[in-house]
């Protein structure tokens, strides 16, 4: 079915945008499961402030990685949409959206498992992908 999307009018850029949105939308799940395991279902759901620190440092890093992914999706999504709307899609923009997806996945995992240098590299790859999309719009 997913391969069918690529041949039925959805561009490579839109496909990878959709995959990035799906990935980002699921990043909170392990954090919430951790909160339920740590606190129990009722306590986890009855948090009046909506933000309590997890006992597990990895869970706090994961939530920070998710927040960072959402913040960057706000920049990435409009760039992809503009590239498609302006008919500015090229092999480079197709490469950029794929690189962005994998860079954000790597960033999420590297942030969660506290791998500092590679985390920054993955962030910079994602940023570079966004800049490639921006440059395509000015070409």
Burial class (CB in 10 A: 0-12, 13-18, 19+), 83: buried
Q: What pLDDT does 1 receive?
A: 42
| Fold annotation for 2-50+57-138 | 1.20.120
Mean pLDDT (whole number) for 15-34: 95
Count of C-beta atoms within a 10 Å radius of residue 25:
13
Q: How confident is the model at residue 7 (pLDDT cuts 50, 70, 90)?
A: low
Enter the tokens of residue 94: 């197709």
Asked if residue 63 lies in contact with residue 34, where contact means CB atoms within 8 angstroms, the answer is no
Q: For the chain, which residues make up each domain, given as ranges?
A: 2-50+57-138
> In whole angstroms, what is the distance from residue 52 CA to residue 41 CA?
14
pLDDT, tens digit (0-9, with 9 covering 90-100), for 68-127: 999 999 999 999 999 999 999 999 999 999 999 999 999 999 999 999 999 999 999 999
């Amino acid at each position: 079915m997913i391969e069918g999307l690529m041949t039925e009018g959805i561009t490579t850029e839109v496909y990878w945008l959709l995959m990035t949105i799906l990935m980002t939308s699921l990043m909170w799940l392990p954090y919430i499961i951790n909160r339920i395991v740590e606190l129990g279902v009722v306590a986890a759901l009855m948090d009046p402030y909506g933000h309590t620190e997890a006992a597990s440092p990895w869970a706090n890093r994961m939530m920070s990685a998710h927040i960072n992914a959402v913040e960057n999706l706000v920049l990435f999504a409009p760039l992809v949409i503009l590239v498609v709307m302006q008919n500015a899609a090229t092999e480079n923009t197709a490469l950029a959206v794929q690189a962005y997806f994998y860079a954000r996945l790597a960033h999420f995992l590297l942030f969660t498992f506290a791998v500092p240098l590679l985390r920054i590299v993955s962030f910079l790859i994602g940023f570079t992908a966004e800049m490639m999309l921006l440059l395509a719009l000015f070409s």
